[in-house]
């Protein structure tokens, strides 16, 4: 990392601010001394121009539509790798050797069971509880079960906590689903790979044998790879902020899950599917395109546009291919939702409004169709996202804890409330 400097002039006072240059991507102006030198803060609601940390994990070039995990293009990882390999890469910075991979897979697999008393948590929820509500509660509750991995100053305990969460998320997610649909919990089975095991825990029932479909398992594994990390998005920043106070890792990941739940973040795939269902048939697309372009109509094309990607979301391309694979495998020849999606995409990509605003399909545009075809209800979509993103959150949290310059995260504000005033008793208030 090289550095140079810039000068900021405020009134008639000039201050030198270092410019830091990363490996690729925009440089940053280091304003950490700005307040001390000028008595001023910077103002950046939504953090659109603020880099909150240095990171070696994930790189996005939104203009070019590039996503790299530890330098590797997402397309190559999704095509050739598997999810646990991606987890290893995100956590340790390098792809594993065959021996490292076997050891990592073994360790994750042996941590998949949850404490039996966790079952009682589930029975405390209403059956119609949203599975994300259950996930926030149960992942937070892990800190009440695993006291031997909450000391964040101990690297071994941090590693054990990381393994536990990556391993137990599928089990908890499947339990949330089973509870929701009123079926008995299915315990993990160690001879299955990570994603096949998850599918079995979701869809097996005691009444008959369940055979994992390898095409669906591979497709879901790829979906997990696509969602594994996305640098400093809202939920990841939430995890880092929670962790900066020294909170235990289970509590931090629970905070990330809570943030992901919001419709502007992890909930968009559900919205995209609902929109495709509402459009229903390709002949109604022009009506919805017109609504999306109408300034007086709040409607937006769900699954289109992205804060960072001003080009085709590279994950959306892979997702689209995966959707076709899954529908073919399931023998769904004519899915009206897919017909609508394909045509809508083609029309929008040729439309001046979408071209000018650089609005392209994002990962959520096709993921809902795929997950629905696999048998997941819409309420589980964000849970699957949380399952996959857990490794990204943990990698980012670990990087922060290991950073010697790490301090508690504490943004400042521009105060616009009442100036100082004196208390008046109730009797005196008019
Ligand atoms: N349909 C129609 N118009 C759109 C859309 C859309 N999907 N997205 C943005 N625009 C327009 C806006 O109206 C705005 O127009 P204007 O400049 O004339 O006012 C312009 O494009 C810029 O939009 P902003 O909202 O300022 O862009 P921002 O970066 O804040 O928002 C967001 C990005 C939230 C993703 C937005 O594109 C959107 O709402 N998309 C639909 C929801 C969605 O798919 N979210 C998933 C994101 S991916 C993920 O979380 C994994």
Residue 334: per-residue pLDDT:
79
% of the chain exceeding 70 in pLDDT: 99
Q: Using CA atoms, how far apart are residues 21 and 2, in angstroms rounded to an integer?
A: 5
Q: Which atom of ligand 1 is nearest to the CA of 272?
A: 44
Look up residue 361 and give its DSSP letter.
B
Reported as a single tens digit per residue, the pLDDT across 7-29 is 999 888 899 999 999 999 999 99
Give mean pLDDT, residues 148-176.
Answer: 95
In ligand 1, the atom with minimum distance to the C-alpha of 265 is 50
Query: Whose Cα sits closest to atom 37 in ligand 1?
Result: 305
Q: What mean pLDDT value characterizes the chain?
A: 94
Instruction: Give me ligand 1 centre to Cα 190, in Å.
Output: 43
Which of 144, 411, 424, 374 minimizes the C-alpha distance to 269? Answer: 374
Mutate-to-test residue for ligand 1 from 300, 311, 318, highest number of ligand atoms within 8 A of CB: 300
CA of 324 to the centre of ligand 1 (A): 26
Q: 153 with 363: CB under 8 angstroms?
A: no
Pocket of ligand 1 from Cβ distances under 6 Å? 264-265, 268, 292, 300-307, 357, 359, 362-364
Report the pLDDT value the prediction gives residue 292, as an integer from 0 to 100.
94
- Minimum CA distance residue for ligand 1 atom 26: 307
pLDDT band, residue 2 (cuts 50/70/90): low
The residue annotated as part of the active site, out of 16, 364, 403, 422, is 364
Name the most confidently modeled range: 192-201, 360-369, 370-379.
Answer: 192-201
Read off the tokens for 50.
Answer: 């603020």
The helix/strand/coil state of 304 is strand
As a three-state string, the secondary structure of 238-285 is HHHHHHHCCCCHHHHHHHHHHHHCCCCCCCHHHHHHHHHHHHCCHHHH
Please tell me the pTM assigned to this model: 0.92
Q: What is the pLDDT of residue 364?
A: 86
pLDDT digits (tens, 9 = 90+) for 292-332: 999 999 999 998 898 889 988 999 999 999 999 999 999 98
Q: What percent of the chain has pLDDT over 90?
A: 83
pLDDT beyond 70 at 369: yes
| 306 classed as catalytic | yes
Which pLDDT score, from 0 to 100, does residue 408 have? 96
Query: Is the model's pLDDT at 3 over the cut of 70?
Result: no
261 Cα: distance to centroid of ligand 1 (angstroms): 18
Contact 250, 150 (CB under 8 A): yes
Q: How far is the CA of 348 from the centre of ligand 1 (A)?
A: 14
Rounded to whole angstroms, how far apart are CA atoms 215 and 313? 24
* Catalytic residue check, 105: no
User: Two tokens at 69?
Assistant: 């995990």
How much is the pLDDT for 248?
96
For residue 253, give the nearest of 380, 177, 158, 180 by alpha carbon: 158
Among 111, 180, 227, 306, the active-site one is 306
Taking only the tens place, the pLDDT of each residue in 42-65 is: 999 999 999 999 999 999 999 999
pLDDT at 181 over 60: yes
Distances (CA, A) of 308 to 15, 55, 385: 31, 17, 19
User: Is 67 in a helix, a strand, or coil?
Assistant: strand
In angstroms, how far is CA 251 from the centroid of its own chain?
Answer: 17
Task: Looking at the CA of residue 313, tell me the nearest atom of ligand 1.
Answer: 48
Give the pLDDT mean for 362-383: 91
The distance of Cα 375 from the centroid of its chain, to the nearest Å, equals 21
Report the distance separating Cα 176 and Cα 379, nearest Å.
10
> Is the distance from CB of 314 to CB of 67 less than 8 angstroms?
yes
Ligand 1: nearest atom to the Cα of 306: 35
> Relative to the CA of 303, which ligand 1 atom is closest?
44
Q: What was the pLDDT predicted at 206?
A: 95
How far is C-alpha 27 from the chain's CA centre?
Answer: 25
What's the pLDDT tens digit per position in 77-132?
Answer: 999 999 999 999 999 999 999 999 999 999 999 999 999 999 898 999 999 999 99
- Read off the tokens for 266: 């992890």
Cα 224 from Cα 27, distance rounded (Å): 31
pLDDT (0 to 100) of residue 239 = 98
Cα 300 to ligand 1 centre (Å): 7
């Amino acid at each position: 990392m090289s550095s140079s400097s810039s000068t900021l002039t405020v009134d008639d006072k000039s201050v030198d601010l270092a410019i830091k240059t990363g490996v690729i991507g925009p440089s940053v102006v280091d304003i950490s001394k700005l307040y001390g030198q000028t008595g001023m803060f910077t103002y950046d609601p939504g953090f659109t121009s603020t880099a909150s940390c240095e990171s070696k994990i994930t790189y996005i070039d939104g203009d070019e539509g590039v996503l790299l995990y530890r330098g590797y293009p997402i397309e190559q990882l999704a095509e050739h790798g598997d999810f646990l390999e991606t987890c290893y890469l995100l956590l340790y910075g390098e792809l594993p050797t065959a021996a490292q991979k076997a050891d990592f897979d073994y360790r994750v697999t042996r941590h998949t069971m949850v404490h039996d008393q966790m079952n009682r948590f589930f029975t405390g929820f209403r059956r119609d509880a949203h599975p994300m509500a259950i996930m926030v509660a149960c992942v937070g509750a892990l800190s009440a079960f695993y006291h031997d991995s909450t000391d964040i100053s101990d690297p071994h305990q941090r590693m054990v906590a990381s393994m536990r969460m990556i391993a137990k998320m599928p089990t908890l997610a499947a339990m949330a689903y089973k509870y929701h649909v009123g079926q008995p919990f299915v315990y993990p089975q160690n001879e299955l790979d990570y994603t096949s095991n998850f599918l079995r825990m979701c869809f097996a029932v005691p009444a008959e044998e369940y055979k994992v479909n390898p095409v669906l398992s591979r497709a879901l594994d790829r979906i997990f790879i696509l969602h594994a990390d996305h640098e400093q998005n809202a939920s990841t920043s939430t995890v880092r902020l929670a962790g900066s106070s020294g909170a235990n890792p289970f509590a931090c990941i629970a905070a990330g899950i809570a943030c992901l739940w919001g419709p502007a973040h992890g909930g968009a795939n559900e919205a995209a599917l609902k929109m495709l269902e509402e459009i229903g048939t390709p002949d109604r697309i022009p009506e919805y395109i017109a609504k999306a372009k109408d300034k007086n109509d709040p409607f937006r094309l769900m699954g289109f546009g992205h804060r960072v990607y001003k080009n085709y979301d590279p994950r959306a391309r892979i997702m689209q291919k995966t959707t076709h694979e899954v529908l073919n495998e399931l023998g769904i020849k004519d899915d009206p939702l897919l017909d609508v999606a394909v045509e809508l995409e083609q029309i929008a990509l040729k439309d001046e409004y979408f071209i000018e605003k650089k609005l392209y399909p994002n990962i959520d545009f096709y993921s809902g169709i795929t997950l629905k075809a696999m048998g997941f209800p819409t309420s589980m979509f964000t849970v699957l996202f949380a399952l996959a993103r857990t490794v990204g959150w943990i990698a980012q949290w670990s990087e922060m804890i290991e950073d010697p310059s790490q301090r508690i995260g504490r943004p400042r504000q521009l105060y616009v409330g009442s100036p100082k005033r004196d208390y008046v008793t109730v009797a005196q208030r008019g």
